[in-house]
Amino acid sequence: MEGILALEDGTILRGRGFGAVGWVAAEMCFNTSMTGYQEILTDPSYRGQVVALTCPEIGNTGINPEDEESDKPQVAGLLVRRLTRRSSHWRQRETLDIYLQRHKIPALEGVDTRALTRKLRTEGAMKGVLATNGMSAEEAIAQAKAWPGLGAKDYVAEVTCKKSYEWDPEGTDFPSRLGDEKRKMPPVRHRVAAIDCGMKRNILRLLRAEGLQPVVFPAQAKAEEILAAKVDGVFLSNGPGDPAVPTYVHQTVRDLVGKKPIFGICLGHQMLAHALGGKTFKLKFGHRGGNQPVKDLATGKVTITSQNHGYAVDADSLPKGKVEVTHLNLNDGTCEGIRLVSGEAFSVQYHPEAAPGPHDAAYFFQQFAARLDADAKRA
C-alpha cells in the first residue's frame, strides 16, 4: 500500500506503508544509531514523535521481548529507507512489520531518511503527518499544520507507571546489556526511589547491578510518599515531551533536594534544573543517536554518548554559586550535566544506560552508588 509523509511546510515524501493502516500527526525527528531499532521504538522518550532511522536497512534481526525498553512501542510512527521483511536472528519472535501491526503503529518504507534528516537539521524540527490509509496530500498537510505540538500535552502522564512497585528481576542473574554475559546480582546495599517519567528498563538493570534496589514511583508521587518509603537516594528518569509541562515533577524534586542524594538523566536532568530555578529551551532539531561527544569540564575527558532529547537546559538560567555546569556537548556547546555545588544532586542530559549506544558513561551509576555508600558510613 502507498503511504505519504507530509510536513507542515508542504513537503511531501512518498513510500510504501507497513505496520498498521492509519495516520498520525506528530513531531518529526531522526535517530542516527546503527543498531538498536527495537530499543528506540520502545523508548518512552519518543512519545508523540515519528522517528526516521538513518541506518538504511531496518528489521533484519526481527523483534524479541528481551530487547524492549518498555511494555510496547512508544513512537507515534516509523520511517525507514528499507524494511527487511524476512528477518533472521535466533532470538526473534516476530517481524518488525507484524509487531507494528499488532500495536497499531503506522510506518513507511522507501523514504530517503537521510535527506529528511538533512532537511530537519537545516530547517529545524517540524510537525508532520504519516498516513498509510489513502489520505490525500492536501489533507495531510492541513492536519500537520493543525497539530498543536509537543508542548500542548503532558506526555509524562501517559507513560508513567500507574502505581509504585519494587523492581527486581526474577532469578539470580540477568542480562547486563554491557555485554552478552549474564551478571550475578550483588546484594542490595541501598533502596533508591526511581521517579518514573518514562523510564527505560535498562536503567533499572544498571541500578540493580550496583546493589541499588529500585522502588519505582509514578511521576505524580509527592515527596512525602517517596520519603515514607525509607529510601536512601532518589533517581529521576528519562521521559518524553516538553520538560516545562509536568510542573508537578518540578515541585516534587524541589521538595526532595537536600533530603536525599539525587541523580537524574535526560528528562530527569531537566526536571532537576527546573526544580533548582533553571529553565529549558527547545533545540533546533535535538540530539538523537549514539555518537554525541560530551566533555567533562572537571577532568577534560570526552565520552561518546547515547542521546534522545529535543530540549536543553539554559545554562545561564541556573542560580549562580548554587548550581554549576559539569558537562558540555562538543557539537553545539549546550549543557549536558549539572550539579549542586553542595554535592546533594547531579544530573546528565544523555543516557548512561545507552540501549542502544556506547557504554562510555555507565560509570554514573557507580558514582551514585558510591555517594550512597559514603552517606551510609557517615550515618
User: C-alpha grid cell for residue 128?
Assistant: 508532520
β-pairing, 233-236 with 57-58? unpaired
Catalytic residue among 29, 197, 353, 359: 353
What is the distance in angstroms between the CA of the first residue and the CA of the last residue of the chain? 65
| CA 309/CA 3 separation, integer angstroms | 27
Q: Helices in the chain by DSSP H: which ranges?
A: 37-41, 96-102, 113-123, 137-146, 155-159, 201-209, 223-228, 247-256, 267-275, 363-378
Whether 197 is catalytic is no
Q: H-type helices in 92-245, by residue range?
A: 96-102, 113-123, 137-146, 155-159, 201-209, 223-228
C-beta of residue 146 within 8 angstroms of C-beta of residue 235: no
* Partners of 131 in the β-ladder: 4, 23
Catalytic annotation on 351?
yes
3-state secondary structure of 100: helix
Determine whether 266 is an active site residue: yes
CA dist 232 and 107 (Å) reads 44
Q: Are 167 and 190 in contact (CB under 8 A)?
A: no
Task: Please provide the size of the chain in residues.
Answer: 379
Dist CA 32 CA 46 (whole Å): 14
Q: Give the pairing of strands 77-80 and 279-296.
A: unpaired
Locate 47 and state its grid cell: 512519545
CA 293 to chain centre: 17
Catalytic residue among 39, 210, 250, 266: 266
Provide the 10 A C-beta neighbour count for residue 233: 22
Q: Whole-angstrom Cα distance, residue 325 to residue 315?
A: 7
CA distance 25 to 139: 12
Q: Which of 287, 309, 351, 359 is catalytic?
A: 351
Asked whether the CA dihedral 131, 132, 134, 137 is positive or negative, the reply is positive
* Cβ proximity of 200 and 70 under 8 Å: yes
Q: Write out the catalytic residue numbers.
A: 266, 351, 353
